Amino acid sequence: MKISSLFSSSGEWARDGGPHHQIVISSRVRLARNLRGHPFPGWAKKNDRLQILELIKPQVEALPEMEDALSSYLQELSALEKQALVERHLISREHAAKGAGSAVVVDQKQALSIMINEEDHLRMQVLLPGLQLRNAFKALDKVDTTLETKLDYAFHPHLGYLTACPTNVGTGMRASAMVHLPGLVLSDQINPVIQAINKIGLAVRGLYGEGTEAMGNLFQISNQITLGEPEEEIISQLNKVIEKIIENEENARQVLLQKKPGTLLDNIGRGFGILSHAYAMTSKEALNLLSFLKLGVDIGFFPPDRQKDIDDLFVITQPAHLQSIASQPKLDPEGRDTLRAQIIREKLRAFPNPDTSKVVLPSPPTGETHHE
């Protein structure tokens, strides 16, 4: 598989939507594993790292899930390709900074991704659409079990799996869901909700994980604790919280539709108008406006078959993706903003005008205006 073939649309894993896909974009589970008797990547000398890599990579490539996979040494990837993989959440920002001694293997559907010599020897993740934390864990657990028969994992009978950073010791698992919460944001309820989530020991982060800003009303919610609880229990607790957030978001949307339909329509309409007619747009503005467009599909303002276009735009308007589909060798930020606006305008040309027939507008009534 050629890496550039990844970048023209959203990943195949995202096609089916999945349960609660209007609010939960994706579910992700990752496991951190290390080999016994080898230094962690951060401590390892270059030769150690190369040796570890050559122990692990063939086993990962031999996984039945990895048929026709993309498999690359990090030094073979351009900065642009690495950045695009980060934008697709297939590798971490930390891993993108790596060179010789590290590698990444991604399955054909872009659902399973395994980083070798990131912070740990092995970081593997499964990404599924909608709320499917249990399915993601099951799929990843199967991969992990297979690999455990081939590789000698560093495991301590009391602590569990050993990891480079103590916050990952035990299960080595991080589970997260990417949720789209425009209703809670528009109705000024997002901050109390985030505070409540933090209080019960879960983390709320922006689109690209730790330390990144929330854009496009997208929030990543994940467990913090990896030690002392079985994986199924952690997943189950996170799942409950996400279900509660879905309920809150659905309520917020209903209340907005009933009490402030004008505000809601105005946000969605303006978003559509600007996206359809701008000639320059930053990636941040694009995300924020696409969020309203997505909400517009959810509430029936646009036909459901337009969801796919919006999902694609969320992905391909990110800087590295844009650069990778540009005809020019290197775009400056201004050039990217122009190309981004052009791609969005072209995609939205297929959109019909918003259909507000299902939505009750506030005074004045939607009926005829009286021209004297």
What length is written for the chain? 372
CB 139 within 8 A of CB 125: no
**CB 91 to a second copy: min, Å:** 20
SS3 content of the chain, % helix, strand, coil (to 5): 45, 15, 35
Q: Closer to a second copy by CB, 4 or 191: give it.
A: 4
**CB 355 to a second copy: min, Å:** 13
- Binding to a second copy, residues 272-311 (CB under 8 A): 272-280
User: Does residue 364 belong to the site contacting a second copy (CB under 8 A)?
Assistant: yes
- Binding to a second copy, residues 302-361 (CB under 8 A): 324-328, 331, 334-335, 338-339, 341-343, 346, 354, 361
Q: Closer to a second copy by CB, 277 or 284: give it.
A: 277
User: Does residue 372 belong to the site contacting a second copy (CB under 8 A)?
Assistant: yes
Distance CA 201, CA 241 (A): 11
CB atoms within 10 A of CB 139: 18
Interface residue with a second copy, options 158, 199, 358, 371 (CB under 8 A): 371
Could you please report the per-residue DSSP string of 40-106?
-TTT--HHHHHHHHHHHHHHHHTSGGGTT-EEEEGGGS-HHHHHHHHHTTSS-HHHHT--TT-EEEE
Interface residue with a second copy, options 45, 46, 150, 270 (CB under 8 A): 270
**CB 22 to a second copy: min, Å:** 22
**CB 176 to a second copy: min, Å:** 30
User: Does residue 209 belong to the site contacting a second copy (CB under 8 A)?
Assistant: no
User: Does residue 368 belong to the site contacting a second copy (CB under 8 A)?
Assistant: yes
User: Does residue 1 belong to the site contacting a second copy (CB under 8 A)?
Assistant: no
Residue bearing tokens 């009303």: 217
Distance CA 250, CA 254 (A): 6
Structure tokens at 270: 């303006």
**CB 360 to a second copy: min, Å:** 12
Q: Which residues contact 71 (CB under 8 A, 6 or more apart)?
A: 57, 60, 61, 103, 104, 105, 106
**CB 321 to a second copy: min, Å:** 11
Number of residues near a second copy (by CB under 8 A) = 46
**CB 125 to a second copy: min, Å:** 25
For 42, 153, 164, 242, the CA distances from 52, given in Å and listed in that order, are 13, 12, 15, 37
Going by the DSSP 8-state scheme, the letter that residue 215 receives in this structure is -
Q: Closer to a second copy by CB, 239 or 282: give it.
A: 282
Q: Which residues contact 6 (CB under 8 A, 6 or more apart)?
A: 70, 84, 85, 88, 106, 110
- Binding to a second copy, residues 3-62 (CB under 8 A): 4-5, 7-8
Distance CA 172, CA 140 (A): 12
**CB 361 to a second copy: min, Å:** 7
Q: Write out the residues near a second copy by the rule CB under 8 A.
A: 4-5, 7-8, 262-263, 265-266, 269-270, 272-280, 324-328, 331, 334-335, 338-339, 341-343, 346, 354, 361-372
